[in-house]
Structure 1
Amino acid sequence: MTEERSDAWAAEAIRRVGMRGPQTVPTPLRRLPLPGIRGIEVYLKDESAHPTGSMKYRLVRAMFREAIAGGAIEAGTPVIAATSGAVAVAGAHFASLLGLDFTAVVPARTPGEVLARIEGEGGRWQVAERPPAAVQEEARALAERLGGHFLDHFTDAERAVAVCGEPTIADEIFVQLGRERHPVPEWIVTGAGTGATSATVGRHLRRHGHPTRLTVVDPENSAYFPAWASGCGDYTTGMPSRIPGIGRPRTEPGFLPTVIDLMIPVPDAASVAALRWLRTVAGIEAGPATGTNVWGVCHLVARMREAGVRGSVVTLIGDTAGPYLNTHLSPSWVRARGLDPAPYEADIERFFRTGEWPI
C-alpha cells in the first residue's frame, strides 16, 4: 500500500471509529431515588448504553483511535486481545467496523455466553494453551506471529484515553450535571480494572480545579486498595477478582493512586447484594461492578448525611445484567462460592428506606 493510500485509510478509519463515539449521543445520566434522605442526589452514568453494552467500549474506542493514528493498525492488520470480557466484545466490534480480523485469546473456563457475544460482533476466539496468568503473553506472541496488533488494555488504555479519548466520561458528567441542582458533585465513584477510568476522572478534577473528590471501590482479592493504602506501587495478591471488570491480582500500569482521594474495599457478597437490590427494587439492570459502586455510594452518602452536607454523588453503570444471569444473579452460583449476600441486602434496604447505615 502506498503512503497516500495508507494515510487515506487511516483518516477514514478514525472517522468511522469516531462516529461510534460519545460526540453523537452521550451515555445517559440516571437519577437513583433516595426516599430516606433529603438534600443529596445520586446519579448513575449509564455506560451500558454503549453499542456493546459496557464502559469498556469507551476505552477500546480510544485504543483503536490511538493505534490507527500511530500506524500500529493499518488496512488488513489483524487485532488480537487477551481477555474473555467486555474488552474482547468491544474489540471485535471495532475490528469488524473496519473490516479487520479480530481474535480474542481466552481462558479455558470462559462462559459460552461471552464467546457467543464475541462471535456476534464479528470476532473469533481461541482458548489459551497457557495458565490464566500467562494469557497476555500468549496473545502477544500470537500477534507477533500474525504480524498483527496486540490490544493490551492493561498497559495502553489509560494513555489512549488521555490522548484520544475526548470527550471523556468526566467531560460528559460535568456537562450533564450542569442542568441539575448540584452541578459539581461532592464525590465521583468508580472501580478500577485497567485503572484508565479512575485516572481519567482524577486528572479531569485536578485539571479543572473542581472540589469534587474521587473514590475508587475495590473488590476482594484485588491489589489496588492495598497498593493505595501502603504506597507500594507493585503490590500483588496473586488472586483473581470475582467481580468482572474491576479488581486485579496486581497493580496495572494505568492505575494512578495519586489522583484518588479515597478507596473503599467492598466484600464480594456486598457487591452481589447491591446488584440484586438494583435489579429487584430499583429496576436497574446492571452488572456486579455496578453493585460494588453502589455499596461505595451508600457509604459516602451516609458520611455526607451525618456531616449535614448537601450535594450530589455520581457513579457508573459499567455494564448490563444479561451476562450474569447464570453467575452473580444465580443463587446457586453465589452459594457455591461461599457468599452470603443476605446481611448486606438488609443493610442496603434499610439505608435506602431510612438513611441509616452500619458503622
Structure 2
Amino acid sequence: MSRAVCRPPSRDWVDNAVRLIEADTRRSADTHLLRYPLPAWAADRDVALYLKDETTHITGSLKHRLARSLFLYGLCNGWIGEDTTVIEASSGSTAVSEAYFAAMLGLPFIAVMPESTSAAKVALIQSQGGRCHFVSESGQVYAEAQRLADETGGHYLDQFTNAERATDWRGNNNIAESIYEQMALEAHPVPEWIVVGAGTGGTSATIGRYIRYRRHATRLCVVDPENSAFFPAYRTGDPEMVTTASSRIEGIGRPRVEPSFLPGVVDVMVSVPDAASVAAAHHVSRVLGRRVGPSTGTSIWGAFGLLAQMVADGCRGSVVTLLADGGDRYDETYFRDEWLASHGMDPSGPAEVLAEFERSGRWPRSELCISGPSEVRNSHNAASTKNPT
C-alpha cells in the first residue's frame, strides 16, 4: 500500500475535503428498504424478504458507501492531500464511485483494470472524470496500482485491504445500522438471515461485526459466484486459495481471498452458479419492473434458498439482502442472449427452479454448494437441476 506523501497534507485543505464529503452525505437520503412481493404462500407461512436498495446512491451502487469511507480513511490518515493522484484496482462500480469523490475534491483518479473490461464500464468511469489504465491479466491489477502510486507519489486506495477497516462497523450510519433501524417496525424486525455477496469482503465484515456487537440473533450468509476463491477457502479453511479463472459476475468474485474478508463473522457461505445469478437477475427485474445487476441475482438466489428452507422447517421470520447495483449498465451483456451464449451461460435451468419457488415456495434438494451449519445443509441446489422436487 502506498504511503508516498512525504509531508502532512495541508490541514486546511483536508478539513475542507472532509467537509465536502460530509456535505454530500447530508444531501443524500438513506437508501430505501423494499419489501419484495413474494407470492401468497409467503404470507400464509409468515416469511418476508426485504431488499436494501443501494442503487439509489448518486453513483448507482453499494460501492458508493465504500468509496466514501475509503476517501475519508485516506484523508484522516494523512495519505491524501491536495496534489495526490488517487489510484484503485477496479474495473467496476467501486471505480465509478471513487472517480466521483476524486472529482469532488479536484484530484486526478486512475482505475487499473483488465483490458477485457467492457466499454460501458470504461465509459462510466470516464464520465465521472476518471482515467482507465489497462493490464493484460486480472491478477496484475494489484501490483500495477501500487506501481502507479509509487511512480506518481499518489495514494493507492486498495479497496481489497482497506474495505473492512475503513468502515465504522459499530454504527455511524453504516449499512448494518441502517438495515436494523429500517426493520424496526416490521413484523419480524430482527432478520433470520442477512445475505450479501463476498465482493471485497468489506460489507460482510461490517454487517457480521455489527450483528455480534449488537448481539442480534441474525445469521450472515455470504454468496459467491463461480471461479471465486472465497467459497473454496471458507470450505477448506485455506486462506491462500487462488483460482485460475476470472469471475463472470461483475462486482463480486475474486481470484484470491482478499484481506478484508473475515470468515469468522460469516455463518454460511453459498456458491452460486453463474447461470443462476443471471436467471435470478432476470427474474427479479421482471418482478420489480426495473433491471438489477448480476451480483444482485447472486444474492437473491441465496436469499430464496434460505426462505425456502425456513418454509420447509416451519420457521417464521424475515430475510434481508441487497440490490447492489442497477441492471441498465449491463444491457449489452447479461441481458443479451447472444452474449450469454458466447460466455457459456444458459439461465434456462435455473429459471425453472425460480418458477417453482414462486409457485410453491419449494427449493430443490440435490447436489449442494454450501458451507456452514448443518441446519441449512441440503437447502440449495446446483443451478443445473431442471426438475425441482
TM-score bucket of the superposed structures, by smaller chain? over 0.9
Post-superposition shift, 1:163?
A: 7.2
* Identical residues among aligned pairs (%): 47
Aligned ranges 1:71-86 → 2 under 5 Å? 71-86=78-93
Q: Distance in 2 between matches of 1:81 and 1:320?
A: 22
Q: Which amino acid aligns with 1:8?
A: D
**Which residue of structure 2 aligns with residue 53 of structure 1?**
60
The structure-2 alpha-carbon separation of the partners of 1:297 and 1:57, relative to structure 1 and needing over 3 Å to count, comes to same
Q: Distance in 1 between matches of 2:106 and 2:130?
A: 11
Q: Distance in 1 between matches of 2:218 and 2:363?
A: 23
Post-superposition shift, 1:8?
A: 1.7
Aligned ranges 1:118-133 → 2 under 5 Å? 118-128=125-135, 130-133=136-139
Q: Distance in 2 between matches of 1:71 and 1:46?
A: 33
Unpaired segments of 5 or more residues in structure 2?
1-6, 366-389
Post-superposition shift, 1:27?
A: 0.7
Post-superposition shift, 1:127?
A: 2.3
Q: TM-score, normalised by structure 1?
A: 0.95
SS in 2 for 1:41: strand
2:270 matches 1:237? no
CA RMSD in angstroms comes to 1.8
Q: Distance in 2 between matches of 1:156 and 1:355?
A: 39
Q: Distance in 2 between matches of 1:241 and 1:74?
A: 35
Q: Distance in 1 between matches of 2:113 and 2:85?
A: 17
Q: Distance in 2 between matches of 1:54 and 1:275?
A: 15
Q: Is the 8 A contact 1:270 1:295 kept in 2?
A: yes
The structure-2 alpha-carbon separation of the partners of 1:259 and 1:335, relative to structure 1 and needing over 3 Å to count, comes to same
Give the counterpart of 2:317 among 311, 317, 327.
311
**Which residue of structure 2 aligns with residue 67 of structure 1?**
74
SS in 1 for 2:223: strand
Post-superposition shift, 1:22?
A: 7.1
**Which residue of structure 2 aligns with residue 107 of structure 1?**
114
The structure-2 alpha-carbon separation of the partners of 1:253 and 1:88, relative to structure 1 and needing over 3 Å to count, comes to same
Q: Is the 8 A contact 1:185 1:313 kept in 2?
A: yes
Q: TM-score, normalised by structure 2?
A: 0.88
2:285 matches 1:253? no
Give the counterpart of 2:19 among 12, 15, 37.
15
2:174 matches 1:168? yes
**Which residue of structure 1 aligns with residue 232 of structure 2?**
226
Q: Which amino acid aligns with 1:314?
A: V
Count of residue correspondences: 356
Post-superposition shift, 1:159?
A: 0.8
Q: Which one is further off, 16-25 or 137-146?
A: 16-25
Q: Distance in 2 between matches of 1:249 and 1:122?
A: 28
Q: Which amino acid aligns with 1:30?
A: L
Q: Is the 8 A contact 1:62 1:165 kept in 2?
A: no
Post-superposition shift, 1:24?
A: 4.5
Unpaired segments of 5 or more residues in structure 1?
none
Q: Is the 8 A contact 1:218 1:266 kept in 2?
A: yes
